[in-house]
Structures are given as C-alpha cells and as structure tokens.
Amino acid sequence: MSNKEASKTTSPIISRDAENLREKKAQLKNQIERKDSETTDKVINLVKQAKESNNQENLKTLLKEIKETANPEIYESQKNEIAELEEKLINQDASEYNKMVAESVDKKLAQKGIEIDNLEDGEEKTLLVNLKNGELNGKSKQEIKDAEKQVNNWLNTELARKKLEELMNETGKVLTSSVKYTNQAIEQLYNQLLEFSVTTDIFEQAEYQTKKPQAESLLLEMTSRLQQEQSQNTTSPESFP
C-alpha cells in the first residue's frame, strides 16, 4: 500500500482522535481560565489589604502570599500595584524585603522538589543562592528587585522545562512499554500533559512551543489509546493490574 493510500485509510481515525483532543483542550482551557479568574480576584483582594496595611510584618506576609499565589500572567497584570507594595516594604526595611524574597524562593524550591545542587552553575544560580540565604543585604533597592526578577524568570523557565521534559518522557514510556498500565495511571499522565498544552503560564507556554510537534503527537496517541480502551471496556470489561 502506498503512503497516499495509507493516509486515506487512517485519516478518519486520526481525524476523530484529533477532534476529541480539540474538545478536551477546549474544556480544560475553560476550567483553567475560570480558576485563573478566581486567583486574580484573590490577588486583587490581597493587594488591597496590603495597601491598607500600616503594619510591616502584615505587609510582608501579604506581599509574600501575593508572590506565591499569582502565576506569572496574573503577576504581570498587577505588576504596578505589586511594585508599589515592594517599594513600600523596601523603604520600611530592605532587610525584611530581602528576607521575604528568600522565604518565597525557598518555598518555591521545596514545592517543586528542586535541589539547588542539581541546578546548572551560572550567574542565576549564584543569585538564587544569595537570595535564598539572604545575602543581598546592603544592596540598593533596584539591585535587590533586579536580582529577584532575574532569578524568578530563570527559575520559572527551568521549572517549565523540567516539568514538560518529565511529562513527555513518562508519556513516551507508557506508550511504548509492554507493561499494561491502568486506565487511571494513563489518564492522570494524559491530563497533566493536556493541561500543560493549554496553560496560561507564560513560561510554560513558551516551553511548550519549543516541543509542540512532539508533545502534540504524544497527546494524539494517548487520545487514541484511551478511546480504544474505553471501547474495549464497553464491550468486554477487563480488570487491570
């Protein structure tokens, strides 16, 4: 059979899988947008509270929560208001601002399971260590804020790269392994990669674009696999390990 004939034979299946994938992406994107809207409202409320606060410790706590709650897109939409709050805390006590940044960086690393020793050596890693250890005391306000921005951009890029790389590797293993995975395990991995494909996180969006052809191919193949499993279970229920 020629390639052209093969294409004609398989195109209805591919088309159906592609349509299912588009529908799932649309549904998930709507869910993410609703969640982002709720998060934005929460951040706006936190910003309002911080503006009204005259207590340094309370201001630091609220600003820290804002930084930990807002994803990069939401942070960008509120950057002017957040910058005013940062300036307010720095003017009150630059060391307290530095301490807050250190705590936020430390928490982000812990949440993502990132070990500093495993990060690539370079200027950003040095800045990260300095921020984490609170070793930027004595620097100017702008130097502290520039260092924080540089580290956050680098760290967000690294986290996005690592996350997508792991998801794609795990998906590839599931698709090529002779081991029979449970539907639950397949769907969990599928949904994670699917969510990454429609993320509103600007760093994850950028990373996905660099791997889009490979990732979309994996998603399409996973869609087909799940559809096949669903059809088989409908006609002949089967227990999986």
Q: What is the pLDDT of residues 112-138, one digit of tens each?
A: 777 888 888 888 888 888 877 777 767
User: Does 97 have pLDDT greater than 60?
Assistant: yes
- What is the residue extent of each domain of the chain? 18-233
Predicted local distance difference test score (pLDDT) of residue 112: 75
Q: How confident is the model at residue 178 (pLDDT cuts 50, 70, 90)?
A: confident
- Rounded distance, CA 180 to CA 11, Å? 27
Asked if the model's pLDDT at residue 209 lies above 80, the reply is yes
Angle at the Cα of 91 (from 88 to 95), degrees rounded to 5?
110
- The angle, 0 to 180 degrees and rounded to 10, between the axes of the packed helices 202-210 and 141-176 is 50
Q: For residue 173, what are its two tokens?
A: 């293993």
Q: 14: pLDDT confidence band, cut at 50, 70 and 90?
A: low
Asked if the model's pLDDT at residue 220 lies above 60, the reply is yes
